[in-house]
Amino acid sequence: MKRISGYGDKRAFGTLFEFFGPRLKSYLLRMGADDAQAEEIVQDVMLTVWRKASQFDPAQASVSTWIFRIARNRQIDLFRRASKPDLSPEEPMLQPAPEQAPFESLSQAQLQAEVREKLDILPPEQLELLRAAFYDGMSHAEIAERFSLPLGTVKSRIRLAFDKLRGVLSRE
């Protein structure tokens, strides 16, 4: 490694490659790579060894430990890349939401105004919890902590408020 890092000695690199190449391939095959992947990773690892030989620190690890760690990391990267699905630009989840027709946005605005009006029929303890959840964006646990209430009470009051609003809105 000293000759490779210090002098760019190609003969020393050839010796290193001849020694570690077959061992790396065998290791990668045992780790689950197929033959072509193992060959590709060995080539990549040995190219990295050539390029980054100056970064090798014998106080940190032995040459074999350093090289095998590079190989292990390359294989993990390859498997991670292979396990990620390719996203199609046609994927429905990646498409922008369709624009609402004017009558839809008008009816939605009317519904929102109607719900705001009906909030007045709720008891204050239910109304303040609903406001904390929907206007302040707090979770049920955060609401319970803020108002010093048991979590079950928070959930019950919010559910009761929904039931009451649903009943009033469905009648109209």
- Given a cut of 80, whether residue 63 has pLDDT beyond it is yes
Token couple for 15 = 């010796």
- Given a cut of 80, whether residue 9 has pLDDT beyond it is yes
CA distances, 151 to each of 112, 124, 148, 156 (Å): 28, 18, 9, 9
**Lowest mean pLDDT across 12-21, 126-135, 150-159:** 126-135
Q: What is the pLDDT of residue 100?
A: 64
Q: Are 71 and 30 in contact (CB under 8 A)?
A: no
Domains defined for the chain, CATH in brackets? 1-83 (1.10.1740.10), 122-170 (1.10.10.10)
**Lowest mean pLDDT across 23-27, 75-79, 111-115:** 111-115
Residue range 111-135: mean pLDDT, rounded: 84
